[in-house]
Amino acid sequence: MPRVVYDDRHVLDPLIFAPPEVVESCCLRRATARLDFLVLANFAAPMKQSSKKKWLNKWSRKSHRWGAILILLPAGIVIGSGIFLQLKKDFAWVQPPSQKGAQSNPRISFEEILSAARTAPKAGIESWDDVDRLDVRPSKGIVKVRGKSAWEVQVDTTTGDVLQVAYRRSDIIEQIHDGTWFSDPVKLWIFLPSGCILFILWMTGIYLWWLPISAKRSNRRNRKDRSLTAEATLAKIRKGG
């Protein structure tokens, strides 16, 4: 609608000559334009990310990406060996199942245990120097004689009979899992830092997972605030008009 000029310095608003429905329509258009300005003025600044948050987002993505590449091989070894250790009591190939003796009260001596272990040629046990450890299970009535060759001899603690001779792989898998199977320097300088980096990956992964959820919630709140501001501004314009 053109404006009406009655001299060089004053301009009349043509709405004063328009019918009420035209006045309301034009007021709504002006209100819409005013609302666009208010939205930009009131909500543009809070929606901008701070420099610290931008730095944190960038650092999290970079550390998550490069950290995963750095520990690719050690983490694969730890995860693979960990799966075997979780199933060691379910598969005899990993760890031989425990047998059950005649009674729960041990009655044989250490010399009788060694004599029983000598009867298993696969274990290669001839003296105590060949024994890595003894695992006594009073509730089952057995003692597991673990040789340094990784063979295990299960002896009945009541009768002294050999119940089972089997190769035990769980101990070797445990050493591979923590890095001691390779060497102590590898354990301290490769597997230990890899564990620390894996912990950082866990933290950054949680942060990167939470980031879009937080952004959606923030956008939802901003839309709600804009809607409330728009309604309040329209009500104020209509009341003032």
Residue 57: per-residue pLDDT:
83
In a domain, 46, yes or no: no
In a domain, 105, yes or no: yes
Residue 26: per-residue pLDDT:
57
Residue 152: per-residue pLDDT:
96
Structural domain for 130, as ranges: 96-168
H or E stretch including 212? helix 192-240
In a domain, 111, yes or no: yes
Residue 3: per-residue pLDDT:
47
Domains: count for the chain: 1
In a domain, 130, yes or no: yes
Alpha-carbon distances, residue 123 vs 162, 165, 170, 173, 208 (angstroms)? 12, 8, 16, 19, 52
In a domain, 180, yes or no: no
In a domain, 147, yes or no: yes
In a domain, 88, yes or no: no
125, 153 in Cβ contact below 8 A? yes
Alpha-carbon distances, residue 49 vs 55, 98, 191, 213, 215 (angstroms)? 10, 60, 37, 15, 11
In a domain, 55, yes or no: no
Residue 110: per-residue pLDDT:
94
Residue numbers of the chain with a pLDDT score lower than 50: 1-12, 15, 18, 23, 39-41, 43-47
H or E stretch including 4? strand 4-5
Residue 5: per-residue pLDDT:
43
Residue 218: per-residue pLDDT:
78
Residue 87: per-residue pLDDT:
92
**Residues 30-76 pLDDT 10s:** 555 555 555 444 544 444 556 877 888 888 888 888 988 999 999 99
